Amino acid sequence: MDEGADFGFELVTLILALAMSLPFFMSVVAFLLSPDFGGFDSQIMEKTAIATYGELIPQQRVIDRDDMMLMLAVADKYAMAPLDYTICGYDVAIDDTYFNNRAAYLINAFAAMDVTAKKITLYYGPTGPRKWVIENK
């Protein structure tokens, strides 16, 4: 066949293939550009927006017995200072004795605390070490 005839046949085949696939491409493009999908003129709805102004007002978090027990339960020898706790008069020092008998210390600390620890302070004296002081007052 002639070079011109081959080129013409390929051109007609290309035009027919594009014409037959045009409805499929248009349906896909119409879906991709629709506002529901996020195409042009789409409004992005913020789903994490705060519903009321009242949620913007900070509330002081109440530290309770569970938080103190968690501090004691996860304490290890690599924890940052202070490693001493005074829980309603019951002293807990995070040392080798604590690590060898952790369960007994946790049970005694749990029994010493009220459900809600009323006063939790970080005590530090002029010469003494820092320690956490938990009181029910």
So where are the chain's domains?
Answer: 1-54, 65-135
Q: Which of 70, 59, 60, 77 shows the shortest CA–CA distance to 113?
A: 70
pLDDT digits (tens, 9 = 90+) for 62-121: 777 787 888 888 888 787 766 777 777 788 888 888 889 989 988 888 888 776 666 777
**Cα 123 off chain centre by:** 31
Residue type, 113: M
55: tokens are 């949620």
| Angle formed at CA 112 by CA 110 and CA 113, multiple of 5 degrees | 70
Alpha helices in 2-129 (DSSP H): 3-32, 65-73, 96-100, 102-112
- Asked if pLDDT for residue 24 goes beyond 90, the answer is no
Per the CB < 8 A criterion, the answer to whether 84 and 92 are in contact is: yes
Task: Give this prediction's pTM.
Answer: 0.48
**Res 115: pLDDT:** 66
